[in-house]
Structure 1
Amino acid sequence: MSLKKNKMHFSRRVVFVFTLIVLAPLLLLYGVTIFLMNLQSIRGLEALCNLEVRMNEDKIYENIQAYELIDKMIRANGDLLLFITSPENRDESEVIRTVKEESLTLERILSVEPSLYAIRVFTNSELVPERFPVIMHSSRENLASLSSWEFNYQAKYLAYMDSQSLPSACLTRELVNGKRPVGWVQLSMRMEDFFPFLRRSPPPHQNDFIFSLSESNGEKRLSQIFCQNAAPGREKLLSEKEIKDFGRQIFSGSNKENTRLQLAGKRSVAAWRYLPELGIVIAHTCETAMTLGYAATVTLLGLLASVIVGLGFFLIVRHTANRMFRGIYSVMNGMRRVSAGDLSVQIPVDASNEVRETQQTFNAMTSQLSEQIEQITTEQHLIADTEMKAMQNQINAHFLYNVLETIHMQAVLAGNDDISQSILTLGKMMRYCLRWRIHTVTLEKEMEYIQSYVSILNIRNDYEVLLELDIPEELSELKIPKMIIQPFVENAFVHGIEPLAKDTVIRIYTEVDEAHKKIWLCVRDFGAGMSQAKVEEILSYLADEKYERDSTGSIGIKNIQQRLTLFYGNDYRLEIQSEAGEGTLIRVPLPIEGDMR
């Protein structure tokens, strides 16, 4: 009954404290207000962008009308069309006079629209004499390859005339007399005159962009158009990603002509228009930073007030919580120490409510964990010892039979020192294997055993396995688990080399990983190799931490992986790389210091 009463009292105090926290609904109300203010500011920016882009569109269409007017005036000049159609019907003096008169006429037309700075008439007839820069032969430019509208166009054939080769918005159209093409007319206006909004100094945080629209293989793409004489800061170079994102908004199929996006690394709102006559998209953008500055100021002041109010509540809650949860904090601190690996921690039992029971349970738990871990560690070492003995005493009977048969044949066929050497090598191997009380050896001793093993392999086969060792001298005394390399050499021979039955190489070398304080002991063969599926199967088998009791399949490398994990930890995992027909690489991780747990 007393425990129940304490629980109710504790719960009431918790409810009372959190009831005092009225700050949450106030912050929610304040956040909604700020959100609505920001939303209204964004909508104001969108309206501004729409207005600017409409004004820019109107000015561009005014310039297009000027082009159309001049183009119609030229096409209405019947004398000019007749002259460039059949100049052969006139004598030389009349041709020269006509060229002069028509050139003056074309130059006077420019006064109708001062923003146009160039009118060029190209004639297909070589009989018409050229009068630069007004009347020229069509052969001076590949006019048929030009689009009707070209931007940043430069008349390179007039490069010596700077005033005639400025980057321009150029309209190029074919002249036809009847149904007969007789030439071309080309009208040019400076880019900054055709797009007058680029001449104005940009308002803060606002920008104008022009993109050409192209289509290839059914895919629409945008390319940014620049004006070399734009006002400083008027044009910004956009990245390919930003242009692609902007294009995705345009081609999304939505009828909306405004959007929100990141441009030049800043959040912006944008309005755009597609001008099909020119094949371009014009856009006006406003960065949200400046417009939202006022909202940010209000937000900051509100947050400051909220911080002051929240601080007051925080002090009250903290004072109360410290008194309420002192016992819980002690348990939490104890858990942190346990997570850091300290299982000897015992926390003081000083609470006067249900937390006291938690503290007592925690202390009992850490004591039990320490005992269990000690027991498990002992059991794992016993298992490792048993496995080591089993592996060291497990001699492949078929292998031993073949070796003894080989020695017998040597004795029968020829009396020489080979037999003595073979027996000596085999003896060294037997002594190395059967000394099961020694679990660790130096890297140098392990390599001597591998050399003996490969030597025996070469006796029993009619092809040679060449062993290449590349072990730095400073690593020769490195302590490693015994018999950690031989299973991989055996696997290389049985599964990779023996099926091919030809001379080959097995390389054993080291790689140092200073960043992770590891040494990789590598066994590389150039035999049959394995498929990636087989490699994944073996790695999956090695990842299974279940203790393997039988002696079939890959028990040798499974045992090695288990010993690596036991001695050095879970970070020391075997790596296998193989490709069918190319051979196999096994990488065995070892700590640089060579210390075991």
Structure 2
Amino acid sequence: MKQEMGFAAIRRLLGLSAFTFKLSLQVKLILSFVFVIIIPVVLFSWYTLNEESAKAMKELTKNNENALAVEKTNIENNMELMGWTGQLALSNREMNNYLQIERIQDAARVLHIKYNVVNSFQYFLFNNPRIANVRLFTDNPYVNEIWPVILQESRIQDKPWHDEVMKQSGLPWWEIQENVTLTGAPSETSSNEPFMTYLQEFKYADNATHNGILEISMKLSNFFSGTFSSVQDMNSQLIVVARSGQVFSLKASPVFEQHSAMQLINSVNLMCNTDCETVQFKVNGQSYLASQIYIPSIDVHLVNMVSLADTLEGIHHSRVRYILLISLLAAFLVLLSYSMQAMILRRLKALRESMKQVRSGNFDVELPPITGTDEVGELGLHYRKLILKINELIQEQATRQAAGKEAELRALKNQIDSHFLYNTLENVKMLAEIEGQFLISDIMTSLGGMMRYSMEWKRDHVMISDEIKQVQHYVAVMNIRYDGRLDLRLSIAPECLKQESLKMSLQPAVENAIKHGMSRMHSSDGNLVITISAVRRDQACVIEITDNGCGIPQEKLGLLNRMLRMEESAYQDVRQLFVRKNNQDSNGIGLRNVDQRLVMSYGTEYGIQIESQEGSYTRIMMTLPYRVIEGGLDIYD
């Protein structure tokens, strides 16, 4: 099934391609203009609009999170203020002594407490105008109530938060209360505004027996100052959600014109996460953005609710402007492209008519006057030159055919010559064996092996064993010249027999040893011993060609080593000076070529180095990366 679908897709692509070939050039240019310019412009504009929208939403989210952070800071400051006030209240020694009395006090003692101790509590109240009430509720039956600070705990035992405060074991408890007035207190005015109350149990001196509860109250509008501030963004409003689920906010905010604060909060999943979280949602088609944070110490959720109506409307207007601008730009570009294409195609049509005549065999066609320095004008110029060149090529065709036949005959002759030479060597070898001239037969064998190895160049890399055979053939041939005074000795490690080497890299070194070693032979028997050794050193293979010839003077040795890696121009200058000074072409050109081939194949850390001691020996060290050739493939160790 999948294969059939693949074939169907290929057929549709082929059909589309065939349909495209049938279209005129002008239509293709217009379609290419649409695909190359219009579509990228539309995609770029779409991307830009999305980026602008995302940027606007990101900035709006950041502002809302900043508003939450500022409000959280205000809340923490108010909590610190109320906690500080509570600590001062509980640290008053005279107040603690009065709350812990164990007998009925006389009127003088009560008046002293009222005018001295209670007045200090009033000072706390007046010194911090945000503190609405500071009250001490005690269960000590010997304590007289001193309104409005010292009261009996029985007045609050029916409050829903009383048991929670007792469970805290002296730790603060925060509670939002709708009304903090006390029943049966006609002198206290009633207020409908809710309060944030700080509640804490205090105990007797033994720190184990319950004595009472401290209550510090602050108006919710002061505690959540940012939430109930009238100076806010028209599109955002802070909302406080108590642990009971009650919602407190500025009811007159424009954010709540279509939906109440409770409706919006019910659409948000409140998370108990102290980090700020932002979600976007809709209520009856109206989009909102809600950033929330949880304050565990007072167990409330603080939510910044934002109406996205104005923001989305602004984004919509931006998109309309972008689309209108892009449409006008696309229309202008289409008209401009059509005009330019008409100018270009007019000249191309003239060329097409002329080419039709040339195709019919009329090479004397009158070329159309195509002007201009653009590509079409240049095409017309080259077309004229092409016609002239075709006429020249027609005239030269006969000569070329004759030259081609001659080249084929020459190549065939060269091939016949090489086979003739090999066959001749074989015939001489067989004749020598028949006549009993085995030395000549061996020489013909070595010479034939050398010629085949050097002339059949199928690849650049061979095994060292192949190079050794070539050197053995070469030394055998050269021994005819030197009356058998050449002694080739081999010391090749077994792991190096299949070492990769460049073809014809050893023979130049051996040839150099014979040429210079035999020129001034100093040994007693007049024999030249050439030793070839190969060993592996870590990840390299080192090949040494050593002879017991006359050696090289130290100053000349240093120059030869430097000449191996010289720039070509400097090398040619030194070479000419070297030849004039020594009256011979002993310049190491063969070793330099081998070194350059090694560097190009393996890198600058590989190559040739010459060592010598005058009157003793000369050694050529060739360093290669250790690579083994097996089955025609390179295997790296």
TM-score by length of 2: 0.41
The structure, 1 or 2, with the larger RCO (C-alpha pairs under 8 Å, 6+ apart) is: 1
Which of these two proteins has the greater Rg computed from alpha carbons?
2
TM-score by length of 1: 0.44
